[in-house]
Amino acid sequence: MSRTLFRTRIKFCGFTRAGDVRLASELGADAVGFVFSPNSPRRVHATEARAMRNALAPLVDAVALFMDNDAEEVRDVVKQVRPTLLQFHGNEDDAFCRSFGVPYMKAVPMRGEPIDARALQVRYPGAAGFLFDSHEPGTGGGTGRVFDWSLIPSTLNLNKPYVVAGGLHPDNVFDAILATLPWGVDVASGIESAPGIKDGDKMRRFVEEVRRADCHTEPEPAPSQPA
């Protein structure tokens, strides 16, 4: 795929402050994520996320992240926050994910095995897309760990968009994009000074590196080991 004809989408995740949400919008993020996973240090409540959502600039999406939350809590978030996309990191099945009337993306933990695209699509036929992450059982992402990008083949036969996450930051997202050619990239800890506290300079540099990758035309050797 030619990078000159493709714009990688950017999702910044794990917001806890309205000012950071506004700055992310102004710097060029396509989406911001609010985490409702019970075990996450970035967890916020629906009322807090609703207030932060009001800081979003036009044309920037709000994403709600869950991990084995009960249906009542998900419905409350959908009602109060009005997310445009749901993101599920747990053992939720397709029927559960589809039941809230909002498009959803399913996170796939990368545990050392190549992607079975057919199995994913059979298991989650209603997913709008997939997110490949390095999160461990019981966590909702944002671990800062990188997985082996070669597990995502450049010819991955998915009929839906996929997003790469897990340990991305301004110094490695360029290589990650060239290695995986994703629809989008997702970052939390890589743009923070502390969990949930975003760093404006890191956000700016991350966007710059994504755009540099999008404009890159010269082939480069894949890195032997993600940094």
Instruction: Tell which wins on pLDDT, 42 or 116.
Output: 42
pLDDT at 5 > cutoff 80 = no
The whole-number average pLDDT for the span 35-40 is 95
The whole-number average pLDDT for the span 115-127 is 92
List CB contacts of 165: < 8 A, sequence separation 6 or more. 13, 107, 131, 132, 133, 134, 141, 185, 186, 187, 188
pLDDT at 21 > cutoff 90 = yes
Number of domains comprising the chain = 1
Cβ pair 168, 213 in contact under 8 A = no
pLDDT at 108 > cutoff 80 = yes
CATH number reported for the structural domain that contains residue 117 in this entry: 3.20.20.70
**Active-site amino acid positions:** 13, 133
pLDDT at 1 > cutoff 80 = no
In a domain, 127, yes or no: yes
The residue segments making up the domain with residue 195 are 6-215
Q: Among 73, 182, 220, which residue's Cα sits nearest to residue 210?
A: 182
pTM over 0.85: yes
In a domain, 226, yes or no: no
**What CA–CA distance (Å, rounded) separates 193 from 198?**
6
In a domain, 223, yes or no: no
